[in-house]
Amino acid sequence: MGVKKEMPKTNWKRNLYILMVCQFFVMASMTMIIPFLPLYLQELGVTDLQAVSRWAGIIFGANFLTAFLFSPLWGKLADRHGRKLMLLRSGFGMAIVITLTGFATGPWSLLLLRLLNGMISGFIPAAITLISMTTPKERSGYALGMLQAGAVAGGICGPLFGGILADLIGFRMVFYVTGLTILLTAFAVLYFVKEDHKKKEEYVKTNTMQDFKKIASTSPLLSLFFVFFIVQCALIGINPLLSLYVQELSTSQNVAFYAGLAMSVMGFANMSASPFLGKLSDTKGAQFVLLISLLFAAIITLPQAFVETYWQLLVFRFLLGLCLGGLLPAINSLIRHLAPEGMESRTYGFSNSFMYLGTMMGPIAGGWLASAAGIRSLFIASSILLLLNVFIVKYNVIPAMTSNIKNTNEQKKSVAN
């Protein structure tokens, strides 16, 4: 009596399945506004097309700017107060802010709300951290792959739902529906997700730079952060201009539909491959799954610059989606294994900052490159960046992981003796 029972081993599966569903609804809700964001600006009084384009780009990137800046702070608080609390902070916070976005009166108020949303967002990174910490290490690849499948499925369905709802109920009502959906998701986390977080009696106060130096000194975490950044730059930089490339390849008038199909096919392949590749990383090593996925992604991206028909592009986008299913779960699984004890959430916080920075910089650099050398150059540049990642993983990450595994095995032998 009085002895605290260990968390049942089945709890990690319950958390996983609940957060998979939550990830789906949160990602679907967050991406519902993508199809009509420029149109919403026109409703708010921005009529000049060039002004609409400028405002749409600024407002889209604003969310990632503040997310990049605040992610380390939320990681530090998660280590101290628990990961579930960060899920609730993000869930209830985004529900309020996105609902208020439906009351925007002009582009400046919309920009302010998007900045605020980025500041308090982080539901999906918080879910990744919680699952990685409550799942046995030997099953973390599988769990993170399943979690990504839920998020990707939401990302596929969200723009479709958003476009349909915008036509049926209007732009502003979509924000209210989005806010309500995320609110219900936050309540689901509150009542059904369990975390056995043990708060340390003594907590050493450190600043962000001290935390980063300690985490970056753990090889090969800094290399993984750069891999994450480059992956986001290489892949996200293409997305905003994909519809223009589809327009160049297709004679059909339904350009928006075919561009959406090219993205959805890649997302569907990603969703399908994530659980399998995640499980494979548990048995063969996440570093090797990451290396092979990056290599094939680089090889498959290059021919997209030279396709002559839309259907050729569609096949390569599907194959690329299969490769992507092994990238993010493998990176997150490696971070879970390498993070210094007691600093796991802060490690994910810095990782997410690199991810947000890549998500923000990719489209900016992609737009500049496309204007200077044409849209096809984006695929060549993306392939080169992914090949750079291959070399980083092969000559830095894998040797460091091999050394870490060897040291761990030697420590186990010495303890056994």
**pLDDT digits over 146-185, tens only?**
888 888 888 888 877 877 788 788 888 989 999 999 999 9
Query: What local confidence, expressed as pLDDT, does residue 6 receive?
Result: 42
DSSP letters spanning 14-35: HHHHHHHHHHHHHHHHHHTTGG
Query: What local confidence, expressed as pLDDT, does residue 301 receive?
Result: 95
Query: What local confidence, expressed as pLDDT, does residue 37 receive?
Result: 73
H or E stretch covering 310: helix 310-324
Query: What local confidence, expressed as pLDDT, does residue 412 receive?
Result: 62
Rounded to an integer, the average pLDDT of 56-83 is: 85
Find tokens 């997410």 and name the residue.
Answer: 352
- The answer to whether the beta carbons of residues 159 and 34 sit under 8 Å apart is yes
pLDDT tens digits for 71-128? 888 888 888 888 899 999 999 999 999 999 999 999 999 999 999 998 998 888 888 8
What the block records as the tokens of 372 is: 């200077």
Residue 347 CA from chain centroid, whole number = 15
Domain range summary for the chain, segments of one domain joined by +:
9-192, 210-405
pLDDT tens digits for 322-375? 998 888 888 988 988 888 888 888 888 898 889 888 888 888 888 788 888 888
pLDDT of 284 higher than 50: yes
Domain 210-405, classified CATH 1.20.1250.20, yes or no:
yes
pLDDT of 203 higher than 70: no
Furthest CA-CA distance within the chain: 76
Instruction: Tell me, yes or no, if the two domains 9-192 and 210-405 fold the same way.
Output: yes
Torsion (CA) 127, 23, 322, 324 in degrees, nearest 10: -40
pLDDT of 3 higher than 80: no
What the block records as the tokens of 59 is: 């407002």
| Per-residue confidence band for 10, with pLDDT thresholds at 50, 70 and 90 | very low
Mean pLDDT of the chain: 85
Residue 223 CA from chain centroid, whole number = 18
Rounded to an integer, the average pLDDT of 49-73 is: 81
Query: What local confidence, expressed as pLDDT, does residue 409 receive?
Result: 65
| Per-residue confidence band for 285, with pLDDT thresholds at 50, 70 and 90 | confident
CA 378 vs CA 58, 261, 304, 368, 372: distances in Å: 21, 20, 10, 10, 11
pLDDT of 40 higher than 90: no
Lowest-pLDDT range, 11-15, 188-192, 291-295?
Answer: 11-15
What is 9-192's CATH topology?
A: Growth Hormone; Chain: A; (1.20.1250)
pLDDT of 8 higher than 60: no
The residue that leads in pLDDT, 108 or 408, is 108
